[in-house]
Amino acid sequence: MTQRQVFKILKQYEGFELREYAPCVIAMVNVSGDLSTAGTLAFRPLFQYISKGNNKSEKISMTSPVILAHPTNKPISNQWLVSFVMPAGTTVAQLPDPTDPNVTLRNLATELCIATSFRGSVSEELVKEKDLTLRALASKENISISSETRICRFDQPIKPGFLQYNELVIPLQ
C-alpha cells in the first residue's frame, strides 16, 4: 500500500477538516502549463528521481498524494509547483540528491491546513468550484487562510475519473 502524507485531524467541520500536517520533505518541479498538463509534465522527472534518478541510484518509496499548487506569489498563473511527498521521517540531508537539475528537495515544517475531499477527474472548473466552497466554509467559521490552494491527487491517471480520490488543501495564515 502506498504511504500517505502524515497528518492529524484537529477538528471536523461541516464540509472540511482542520488538519496538522507533520514535517516532511517534498521533491518538486516547477512547470508551465494548464492544470491538465502540469501533472503530466512534472511526473517524469519526479518519478525518475524516486526510481534511481539520483546521485546514489537509490529507489525511494512512492507516496501519495501528488500535489499541484501555484507558487504562493502567483495564485493565478500557468506556473505550477508539482510535488511528491517523500517517505515519512526522512530529511533532505538523508535523501540522495536529484540528478535532474529541475528537481528540488525541500523540508516542510509542521503546518495547519484546512482540507476537503472529492471524487472525480480534476479539472480547472471543478477545482475552482471546490476552492470557492472551501474558502466560504472557512470564512463562515472565522478561519483565516492563505491564498494558496493545493490540489492533492491520490490515484493513478488510468483509474476511471469518477473513482479518482482528490483533496483540496489550504494552509492557514
pTM for the model stands at 0.93
What pLDDT sits at residue 105? 98
What pLDDT sits at residue 129? 96
Q: Which residues of the chain have pLDDT under 50?
A: none
Cα–Cα distance measured from residue 59 to residue 108, given in angstroms and rounded to the nearest whole number: 22
Peptide bond into 65 cis (omega under 30): yes
Q: How many residues does the chain have?
A: 173
Q: Looking up cell 483540496, which residue turns up? A: 168
Cα–Cα distance measured from residue 114 to residue 131, given in angstroms and rounded to the nearest whole number: 11
What pLDDT sits at residue 117? 97
Cβ burial of 27 (10 Å; 0-12, 13-18, 19+) is: buried
Q: 103 Cβ partners below 8 Å, 6+ apart?
A: 27, 28, 29, 45, 46, 49, 53
Domain count, the chain: 1
Average pLDDT, the chain: 94
What pLDDT sits at residue 22? 97
Instruction: Return the CATH number at 144.
Output: 3.20.80.10
Structural domain including 94 reads 3-171
